[in-house]
Amino acid sequence: MLLTLPPHSSHKLQLLDIAVYSPLRSYYNNARMGLLHTNPGTPMTIRNVAECFGKAYRLAFTPKNVQAGFKAAGIWPMNRAQDGGQLVTSEEKSSE
């Protein structure tokens, strides 16, 4: 099934913003704060940043979160109430 997006609908494509980046930010901040609490007075290095980001990434980029992004955007499963009827499938477009 093809999905045709109308103009001015790029926000529907920002699934990561909807369901992944917010948890990523929270997990990263938790990892960073944990590192700073266990090593007081020690400045963060680029290796520490990579370590904290790696931990956060594994927790945030899960199939469940990515699927939640599709659902929140109303793309899959198709949710007409959520998309305001703007998304059109290839079958619907060919029947017009």
pLDDT for position 53: 98
pLDDT for position 76: 73
pLDDT for position 71: 84
For Cα atoms 13, 84, 77, give the angle at the middle one, nearest 5 degrees.
Answer: 60
pLDDT for position 41: 93
pLDDT for position 95: 59
Which domain range does residue 45 map to?
A: 3-94
pLDDT for position 47: 96
Buried b (16+ CB within 10 A) or exposed e, 19-57: bbbebbeebbeebbeebeeeeeeeeeeeebeeebbebbe
Indicate the number of domains in the chain: 1
Q: Residues in the chain with pLDDT < 50?
A: none
pLDDT for position 5: 63
Of 58, 50, 17, 59, nearest to 32 by C-alpha is: 50
pTM exceeds cut of 0.85: no
HSE-up of 27 (CA within 13 Å, CB side)? 17
pLDDT for position 3: 62
Q: Where do the H-state alpha helices sit in 7-45?
A: 15-19, 21-38
